[in-house]
Structure 1
Amino acid sequence: MPTRPYVLLSAAVSLDGHLDDASPERLLLSNAEDFDRVDELRAGCDAILVGGNTLRRDNPRLLVNSADRRAARTAAGKPAYPLKVTLSARGALPADLAFWHTGGDKVAYTTDAAAPALRADLSGLADVVAVGHEVVLGAVLDDLGARGVTRLMVEGGGSVHTQFLAQGLADELQLAVAPLLVGQPDAPRFLGPAAYPGGPRRRMRLLEARTVGDVVLLRYAPKESTP
């Protein structure tokens, strides 16, 4: 059995727990200093994971933007960019998304049923891996571990963050809390309803709290509890 990677969840949220607002344009919750912090975090990981819904909604590139950080990775014998990873049970991942055409290697995890069509759609763009009749996160982590991924950064969206936390698979949670109130019922939230380990009375251990410009960075260890 391969060793699973260390899983780090990373998100920027409003004070009322939203990842974005309900408008077509992306709401920028972070500031320039925090975007640079995230870039450094990406550079220190072997892979970056984002869900299919987020790919379709936001069309992110998920790159290490700093040339110096990319050079440091290659000097250390690593690819310039971390492996880019996504999940989709339906295999609905359009080939024209920026995700496929920027950065280095990509892998898409999907179901046995959806894999043949997705392999045809993403031929030459990504390694498509079937993990059973549903996309099981444990199987995804096992495959990433077998690929040599030791540190995985999960950048969303809310459904993916919810699944990792509900299944007890996250080793670290980093939240950048922005001084904004979204207040829109249709805006995407950081987490959804779930049976989280330990229930509502369990308190995660706080690793760090500090300001990054006008946002507050909170780091937690989800697998550890405070008395």
Structure 2
Amino acid sequence: MPRPYVLLSAAVSIDGHLDTRPGEDRLLLSNKQDFERVDSVRASVDAILVGAGTLRADNPRLLVNSAERRASRVAAGEPEYPLKVTITGTGNLDPGWKFWHHGGDKLVLAVDHEATAKARANLGDLATVQSVPAEAVWPAALDILGDAYAVKRLMVEGGGTVHTQLLEAALADELQLVIAPLLVGQFDAVRMLGPASYPGGPAARLRLLETRQIGDVVLLRYAPKDTSTEPR
């Protein structure tokens, strides 16, 4: 099977933050209308992936909330929920997180054998744990998802490190970025992207697929693999 189509999804403040500084209450960037859009996107994919750091910080359930959308998946011969995936470099995963106790099947991709063993010991039968090599984490992860789990569309919901790594490796096919009318302003707030050697360098311009106003936020859809150095 080919690797899945990789869709990165994030909401950020105008100054590029996913959240305020660590330890503060979670900042809600999006709005009700956009949460509905995100739920629709989740219902359209085969798997949803987040990094272990996002599970640790936000303790999300990552569900398709609409009963109608779940019923449509089942009617189409698909599981009620997309496969839920996380990736960890340590295996330090809390079995009490909501992620494990809601929705359908869960998969942990653990970087190297030590993290794999620790994740299995921590989670037991809460999730399937599979090892990925440290020297080729993301290519191996996408190969596993395509070959072993028949994932055709993968939605990646963070965090910033995961988004940065996939964009740097030119493995993201689409970026869905929602801009919220907020200015965080904290130097130590959580950023959407970190420093990296992005393909094409600072002058590479991503192709814009769509702009859409959704209440007081704006959705921007980009094709990260399709770049040029000329303004469009």
**TM-score, with length taken from structure 1:** 0.97
What CA distance in whole angstroms lies between the structure 2 residues aligned with 1:92 and 1:36? 32
1:200 aligns with 2:170: no
Which deviations, in whole Å up to 9, do the C-alpha atoms of 1:134-177 show, x marking residues without a partner? 57011000000011100000000000000000000000000000
**Which aligned runs of 4 or more in structure 1 are off by greater than 2 angstroms?**
132-135
What CA distance in whole angstroms lies between the structure 2 residues aligned with 1:65 and 1:101? 15
What CA distance in whole angstroms lies between the structure 2 residues aligned with 1:16 and 1:77? 42
Q: Secondary structure at the match of 1:54?
A: helix
Equivalent position of 2:20 in the other structure: 21
What CA distance in whole angstroms lies between the structure 2 residues aligned with 1:188 and 1:70? 32
Equivalent position of 2:177 in the other structure: 175
Q: Secondary structure at the match of 1:123?
A: helix
Equivalent position of 2:94 in the other structure: 94
**Is the 1:113–1:133 contact (alpha carbons within 8 Å) kept by the matching residues of 2?**
no
Equivalent position of 1:131 in the other structure: 132
Equivalent position of 1:120 in the other structure: 121
Equivalent position of 2:152 in the other structure: 150
* Bigger mean CA deviation after superposition, 63-72 or 106-115: 106-115
Equivalent position of 2:46 in the other structure: 46
Equivalent position of 1:71 in the other structure: 71
Which deviations, in whole Å up to 9, do the C-alpha atoms of 1:88-117 show, x marking residues without a partner? 011111111000000000000112121112
* Bigger mean CA deviation after superposition, 130-139 or 4-13: 130-139
Between Structure 1 and Structure 2, how many residues are aligned?
Answer: 226
* Bigger mean CA deviation after superposition, 112-121 or 3-12: 112-121
Equivalent position of 2:216 in the other structure: 214
Equivalent position of 1:190 in the other structure: 192
**Is the 1:88–1:135 contact (alpha carbons within 8 Å) kept by the matching residues of 2?**
no
What CA distance in whole angstroms lies between the structure 1 residues aligned with 2:61 and 2:25? 16
What CA distance in whole angstroms lies between the structure 1 residues aligned with 2:64 and 2:42? 6
Which amino acid letter does the alignment assign opposite residue 40 of structure 2? E
What CA distance in whole angstroms lies between the structure 2 residues aligned with 1:78 and 1:10? 22
What CA distance in whole angstroms lies between the structure 2 residues aligned with 1:96 and 1:185? 32
Equivalent position of 2:5 in the other structure: 6
What CA distance in whole angstroms lies between the structure 2 residues aligned with 1:196 and 1:45? 26
**Is the 2:14–2:181 contact (alpha carbons within 8 Å) kept by the matching residues of 1?**
yes
Q: CA deviation at 1:51?
A: 0.3
Which amino acid letter does the alignment assign opposite residue 154 of structure 1? V
Equivalent position of 1:105 in the other structure: 105
Structure 1's unaligned 5+ residue stretches are none
**Is the 2:90–2:118 contact (alpha carbons within 8 Å) kept by the matching residues of 1?**
no
**Is the 1:109–1:135 contact (alpha carbons within 8 Å) kept by the matching residues of 2?**
no
Which deviations, in whole Å up to 9, do the C-alpha atoms of 1:55-86 show, x marking residues without a partner? 00000000000000000000000011000000
What CA distance in whole angstroms lies between the structure 1 residues aligned with 2:107 and 2:134? 18
Q: Secondary structure at the match of 1:224?
A: strand
Q: CA deviation at 1:192?
A: 0.1
1:134 and 1:95, CA in 2 relative to 1: closer, same or farther beyond 3 A?
farther
Which amino acid letter does the alignment assign opposite residue 120 of structure 1? A
Aligned-residue identity in percent: 63
Q: CA deviation at 1:121?
A: 1.3
**TM-score, with length taken from structure 2:** 0.95
* Bigger mean CA deviation after superposition, 49-58 or 117-126: 117-126
Q: Secondary structure at the match of 1:216?
A: strand
What CA distance in whole angstroms lies between the structure 1 residues aligned with 2:183 and 2:94? 32
For the aligned residue pairs, the C-alpha RMSD in angstroms reads: 1.0
Which amino acid letter does the alignment assign opposite residue 29 of structure 2? L
